[in-house]
Amino acid sequence: MTQPPWWETVTKDPLTQELGISWRDPESFEPAAEQAWTGTMSNARLDSIDYARRRRKLLVGTGPEVARRDRQHPSRVHWYVDADEPELLWCSLDRSYSAWLWVPIEPTPQAVAEVLSHSHPRTPLTRLDMSATARGFLGFRNDLLIPQVETDDMVPFNGADLDTYFTGVKYLDDGSWASNRFDDPYDDDSVAGSQRRARTQRLGRIPSKSWRTLHSRSYLSIEVHSRAVVCAKAQYRPSPRSHRTVVSRLNTEAETDFPIDLPLDVVGALSGFQFARERDLIHNLTSPENNEQLASGIQIFAALWCGDLRESYRLRDYAAHEDADVRLATAQVANWYGYRFLLEEMALSETDPGLRESLEGLIIQGGSPDTYNAFSESATDGPVIADSNGAPIEAFDGSGSDAPIPAGEHA
């Protein structure tokens, strides 16, 4: 391929030179790798998109780079040109990125700077710097399967295999932490010496395991609500405008439903998981086939709305439902999340004496925090659950149903 007409303008500009990009001579352009090595699950549709996007792409430059915790080799941006469309420049934030996450940009110094603006240089963000939150339903805990890396089999959901899987995902930095920490407890260079105290769940919080994404520095958490509902939660800064067209296109081509401002590394890390949002699931509340489906829908939406009190108030619609099982599901949700407003509304209209007594007891005495071992963790890396003072709490490892316990009863 000959040198693109914009080559000198972009590669010689002081703005792009300051970014630390190493541009190749045209005679050194080389074809893009045939496939990505992301460490994630995939499917035939995503693989097909990846293959099509890579066709006739030539590597024309690399850099800048960011360090990875405890890794010898840094993550380096890769730049590509399509031999059939030389008027575009394609940015892959790392060589391991699937091609459906490559960002096509107009080849100008300003566009090059914009596409890197949230990742290079790397910014030490905390959750307070992240203005956006997205949560999606992954499945019910008893039904959800995850990869077991050692055997390449799909196994029931558990914390150890989840940790091993995400350790190999190229979109994430090393090190996970549990609900005992609100923020990433590790420094940017290493997680050594911090693993033990970071893997404990905090009594009274939603059980979770969290990771820092590599480029956007977002938080990606896997949560277990009410012992049953598994969600993925992302806390992030909305991505640059050029990235949003990529996610929008992916949603169309792969029939996914990610928020278009969700950072690319979060989208990549969730590859292969279902990420169902409210509009994908609302029929469980608005037009359920039966009351059992409605009760499950109440569980799911209580999880999706967790932390958003305005949305959670919509659960009041089911406080006086004619079906006792639906009311019980609503009471269980009120108990799990400590929604006193919902307990009080239900107690005013409840006709079942036993449930009304449980509701009144919870209003007067309050509920006890759940001690269920949601990730089936062992205590080898420290206590599974601890209270606010750091004292270990004995975890409940029930092997029965993952349905929430009745209101007023606690393990």
| Helix or strand run (H / E) with residue 104 | strand 103-105
Query: Rounded CA gap, 230 and 239, in Å?
Result: 25
- H and E: helices and strands count for the chain: 15, 16
Global pTM reads 0.93
Query: Rounded CA gap, 319 and 312, in Å?
Result: 12
What residue ranges of the chain have pLDDT lower than 70?
192-197, 398-411
Question: Hey, what are 192's tokens?
Answer: 């050594």
What is the CB-side half-sphere exposure of residue 373 using CA atoms within 13 A? 19
Query: Rounded CA gap, 263 and 370, in Å?
Result: 33
Query: Rounded CA gap, 366 and 80, in Å?
Result: 59
pLDDT value of position 192: 62
What is the CB-side half-sphere exposure of residue 292 using CA atoms within 13 A? 1
Query: Rounded CA gap, 64 and 16, in Å?
Result: 10
pLDDT value of position 187: 82
Q: Where are the beta strands (DSSP E) in 157-288?
A: 172-178, 201-202, 208-213, 219-225, 229-236
CA 257 vs. chain centroid, Å, equals 13
Angle among Cα 146, 150, 153 to the nearest 5 degrees reads: 45
| Helix or strand run (H / E) with residue 64 | strand 57-66
pLDDT value of position 34: 92
Contacts of 371 (CB under 8 A, 6+ apart): 203, 385, 393, 394, 395, 396, 411
pLDDT value of position 411: 28
| Helix or strand run (H / E) with residue 336 | helix 324-337
pLDDT value of position 380: 74
C-beta separation of 329 from 299 below 8 A: yes
Query: Rounded CA gap, 101 and 264, in Å?
Result: 6
Query: Rounded CA gap, 276 and 256, in Å?
Result: 9
| Helix or strand run (H / E) with residue 291 | helix 291-304
The closest of 326, 123, 341 to 216, measured between CA atoms, is 123
| Helix or strand run (H / E) with residue 76 | strand 75-82
**Radius of gyration, alpha carbons of the chain:** 24
151-203 pLDDT, tens digit each: 999 999 999 999 999 999 999 999 999 999 999 999 877 776 556 568 899 99
C-beta separation of 178 from 200 below 8 A: yes
Query: Rounded CA gap, 378 and 381, in Å?
Result: 7
**Which letter does DSSP use for residue 276 in this model?**
B
